[in-house]
Amino acid sequence: MRRSAHSRKRVLIDTGAFYAFADASDAHHADAVAIFSVLMGNRDFLFTTSFVVAETHALLLNRLNQSAATQFLQDMEEGTQISVIWVIPTDVKQARTLIYRFADKKFSLTDATSFIVMERLQLSHAFTFDRNFTQYGLTVLTPAAV
């Protein structure tokens, strides 16, 4: 049974989730497949950022192969259910400020821009295997909590 638009989650998908889904040997692969399946089935509102797309492409290219990296780019371009949000200069400025403020954390610029975009768009959940999202106080999806 599909949920109404009001009960559908607004989810940001991070690099680790994309990578785990693509790499069958990744420790989180089964969880990534299960979570993606539920999100797609629920027709939840799915987002990622332009920085995450670039980071995922590079990771797939370096850890898997060119074919996987190219397929990912084509999938993101050709009508998936995932909207790509372009990181804007204000997001980057706020992300840098956030990184400086949380000097005790290892937030990458990509992660910090994701946090800022999530706040800007009022996204409620993150699909990631990166503990930085939890450290920042965001709700991270698990197979039991989708």
Domain CATH code at residue 124: 3.40.50.1010
Mean pLDDT of 8-35: 95
Ranges 39-53, 55-69, 75-89: which has the least confidence:
75-89
Q: Is residue 119 part of a domain?
A: yes
Q: Number of folded domains in the chain?
A: 1
* Structural domain span for residue 140: 10-145
Q: Say if residue 4's pLDDT is above 80.
A: no
pLDDT tens digits, residue range 96-113?
999 999 999 999 999 999
Of the candidates 61, 60, 54, 53, the residue with the CA atom closest to the CA atom of residue 80: 53
Sheet of strand 10-13, all strands in order from the earlier edge strand to the far edge: 82-85, 45-49, 10-13, 125-127
Q: Are 10 and 48 in contact (CB under 8 A)?
A: no
| DSSP β-bridge partners for residue 13 | 127
Rounded Cα gap, residues 61 and 83, in angstroms: 22
For the full predicted model, state whether its pTM sits above 0.75: yes
